[in-house]
Structure 1
Amino acid sequence: MSPQPKQTARSAALTLLNEVLGENRLMSELLGQGVLQGLDPADRARAQRLALETMRGLERADRLLQKHLRKNPPLSVRNILRLATVELCQGGDAHGVVNEAVNLTAQDKRTQPMKGMVNAVLRKIAATGPEAWTHLRAPRLPKWLRDPLVMAYSGDVVAGFELAHFAGAPLDLTAKNDATAVAKATGGTLTSTGSIRLQQAGQVSALPGFDAGDWWVQDAAAALPAKVLNAQPGEIVLDMCAAPGGKTMQLAATGADVTAIDLSESRIARVTENLTRTGLQARLIAGDALDHQGRYDAILLDAPCSATGTIRRHPDLPLAKDGSDFGALIDLQEQMIDHALTLLKPGGRLVFCTCSLLPDEGECQIEDALARHPDLKADRNSLNLPGIDPAWITEEGGLRLRPDYWADQGGMDGFYMACLTT
């Protein structure tokens, strides 16, 4: 038996593409299962970057390739071509890119006869692709997602989302204590809402302050729900869907008595790791939040959702999903809001949030909750935070964040949040 070819960053990126586009699996799931464990940290990061950039630029790559293909090759070969096309059009070394693409094609007996075609097509792409690439539109979201977003916002607004998605995302950090000191140590800049933003971060674990637990990775939009909740020292607080733990750490850093629950034991283990690294404390429970009982001064419910607000960082999501689970998620969110309200002490407050761009998972949920519970109110004053544009506050009293906001600074995740008081 001939030995298996050594895994490289490009071959690993190809594996990720084949799984996402062929098996409808999410990158987070694949990485959690150790798909890249055979690579050293630098190649692991490069494989992820190559795969993510290819998924972001998929529409452009396919437009360029269709001029040179008489018929579509098998998915694995198509993905080799896509991976190489994106790398070539973004300045990759033509010799190295084309040579490895040919070698990857030759490694499988079923696709080996196509290595000549791959070589010929990529030579043409290397010659004309980089110039043509710059004239193509920003890749569009798939129709199943784009249509409802256009209905909710407008075609022009959604085009702004797509530009933000194509640009990708800088790295945002939340400081445990001193954001100014973290910004100085890491070379980042402070956003108007208090997050630290790094445009070129490199390896996260190598950044100053990582081992000391001075900060954690958290998009600037995702850092706001805990600020809206405004937990106080000594308050009894519940983080209802806690993993991976960014909001749990924010709550714990206030001096509140925090309980954090998540359905997944493996995800709770990740929260434990993050708390240990940062030296923060919370009571952790692996279980169903709908079964949880207790009495709390404040609750943060970051409900399971479509995650459509995170596409600038997770371009695999619209490629691996088709929206068929949205209805069940919306029903679950409603159940979780109603259950969370039963856990609040009189006068308590609940912050509901989702990393979704769909109003059905945000504005509509709060409108419906206010209608179901006549004594419930949306606390608009809780949204008066540094960096918040009043135009982002919605009619029912929530906060709508979008990826096209802060476009000149690198955007932000799509998010919705509202503070409900009893």
Structure 2
Amino acid sequence: MAKVQGLPARTAALRMLDAVLRRGETLDLAERSAAKGLTPSDRALARAIAGESLRWLRDLDAMIDGATQQILPDDAKPRMVLRMMLAQWLRLDTPPHAVIATGLELLTGGPRRLAHGVFSALVKQGVALPVAPTLPPEVVARWGERAGAIATALAALPPLDLAIKDWSQTEHWVAELGGTSLAPGHVRLARGSAVERLAGFEAGAWWVQDIAASLPARLLGTGEGRRVLDLCAAPGGKTLQLAAAGWQVTAVDKSAKRLDRLVDNLDRTGLSAEVVAADALTWEPGCTYDAILLDAPCTATGTARRHPDVLHRIHAAQIAEMAELQAAILVRAAQWLAPGGMLVYATCSLEPEEGEAQAVQCPLPPAPVTAAELPAGLQPTAEGWVRTDPAMLPDAGGLDGFFIARFRAAG
């Protein structure tokens, strides 16, 4: 029997969904396992199917439940496959006949007939997704009054942001790459650009980094040869920023595998840093630093645009666990700051427990951020902190959710 074209990508997408929803894995981790051996195009398709299924999960489930009287458990294979089929039709513009040809191959017997009947009925009805994804009630409760605006922002896939190594070349790269810029050292491109094929990649002129993720390092300014500690540094975008800004960087992360990617980017860009594989909770630096950047481990709910799995696998227990870890690392990091030195604490989380609550408990005096230090359209909070979310800068394409606070040691 001939192999159905496109089936490997759908099989991988199904495995990703199962790993995220049933086992609580991250979508990135699930992709590495499920998409092993796929061509780049099939891998990208599998990721897109799984990602859109997760982004619109509650809306897809409502459609499925409205088209059948049969009770399908949340983790039932027919429901998983139907989610994927609907996501392909409604979000990836795959023709229904192609959806059926590949989707039904993932099922046998009665489940196949059920999926065929439900999908065909929904196509005949001409169903459509709402303007914004419906968020899980727990997420709405956590995000409060911003939840609706954030949900609307999640409907659109994010653009591609690049951080430029030499800020004086920003205008050159905007013109060369056909992008726009929200700040010096930043270029934004339309989604879908093949990163490795873009001008400047091989030469190491830039690296991929969301504009929000670039803010913490920007708030430390230029290094002029001074020493900075980049804690929890992998995969390394902030390390590259700091090195390019003239800092003498020590980059610490407990994942040696993730540090390999950091080292690769240092090699590609021609930048340098001392790279240390160590746990920030047990590592002892043996010196103090003029600046410390702590981009702490977190639930990463601010990255929901690219990682919609966080909408479904992050709950109160994970948030509490991360908050405890963040507090412990922050207390240790504060002790390693030289007199008068600056510490920036950041998380790519939308949860107050991982942001504002940590800043209040920091033992160092605050060094408030000013509006002049931020891209146009962003404002610091009354406390001098930075809080971004995906609904901000809508006309420019949005940005990830981050919390950032800055402190200065006495001295």
TM-score, length basis structure 1: 0.89
1:276-325 Cα deviation digits (max 9, x unpaired): 12221110001011323221111100011121111111101122232312
The aligned runs of 1:186-335 (5 Å cut-off) are 186-192=177-183, 194-290=185-281, 291-293=283-285, 294-335=287-328
Q: State the 1:117 CA deviation.
A: 1.9
**Counterpart amino acid of 2:18?**
N
Match of 2:150 among 146, 161, 186: 161
> Are 2:138 and 1:144 aligned?
yes
| Percent of residue pairs bearing the same amino acid type | 37
* Alignment partner, residue 128 of structure 2: 133
Q: Check conservation: 2:319, 2:351, Cα contact below 8 A.
A: no
* Alignment partner, residue 398 of structure 1: 385
* Alignment partner, residue 15 of structure 1: 15
* Alignment partner, residue 421 of structure 1: 408
Q: Check conservation: 2:229, 2:292, Cα contact below 8 A.
A: yes
Distance 1:193 1:368 in 2: 33
Q: Check conservation: 1:378, 1:398, Cα contact below 8 A.
A: no
Q: State the 1:238 CA deviation.
A: 0.7
Q: What is the aligned residue count?
A: 401
Q: State the 1:83 CA deviation.
A: 0.8
Q: State the 1:271 CA deviation.
A: 1.0
1:166-212 Cα deviation digits (max 9, x unpaired): 22311111111222233233322112465211223333222222222
Q: Check conservation: 1:262, 1:285, Cα contact below 8 A.
A: yes
Q: Check conservation: 2:153, 2:394, Cα contact below 8 A.
A: yes
Distance 1:380 1:342 in 2: 22
Distance 2:284 2:192 in 1: 39
Match of 1:98 among 92, 97, 100: 100
* Alignment partner, residue 62 of structure 1: 61
1:156-175 Cα deviation digits (max 9, x unpaired): x2100111122231111111
Unaligned runs of 5+ in 1: 107-111
Unaligned runs of 5+ in 2: none
Secondary structure of the residue that 1:180 maps to in structure 2? helix
Q: Cα RMSD between the aligned structures?
A: 2.1
**Counterpart amino acid of 1:144?**
E
Q: Check conservation: 2:58, 2:136, Cα contact below 8 A.
A: no
Secondary structure of the residue that 1:174 maps to in structure 2? strand
Q: Check conservation: 2:242, 2:249, Cα contact below 8 A.
A: yes
Distance 2:334 2:233 in 1: 17
Q: Check conservation: 1:261, 1:284, Cα contact below 8 A.
A: yes
Distance 2:259 2:345 in 1: 20
Q: State the 1:102 CA deviation.
A: 1.3
Distance 1:146 1:37, change over 3 A: same
Q: Check conservation: 2:13, 2:34, Cα contact below 8 A.
A: no
* Alignment partner, residue 36 of structure 1: 35
Q: State the 1:378 CA deviation.
A: 2.2
Secondary structure of the residue that 1:213 maps to in structure 2? coil
**Counterpart amino acid of 2:218?**
K
1:249-290 Cα deviation digits (max 9, x unpaired): 000111211000001111111211121122211100010113
Match of 1:384 among 369, 372, 381: 372
Distance 1:377 1:20 in 2: 39
> Are 2:352 and 1:364 aligned?
no
Secondary structure of the residue that 1:80 maps to in structure 2? helix
Q: State the 1:29 CA deviation.
A: 1.5
Match of 1:408 among 389, 395, 410: 395
Distance 1:3 1:319, change over 3 A: farther
> Are 2:82 and 1:85 aligned?
no
Match of 1:123 among 106, 120, 123: 120
Distance 1:46 1:208 in 2: 25
TM-score, length basis structure 2: 0.91
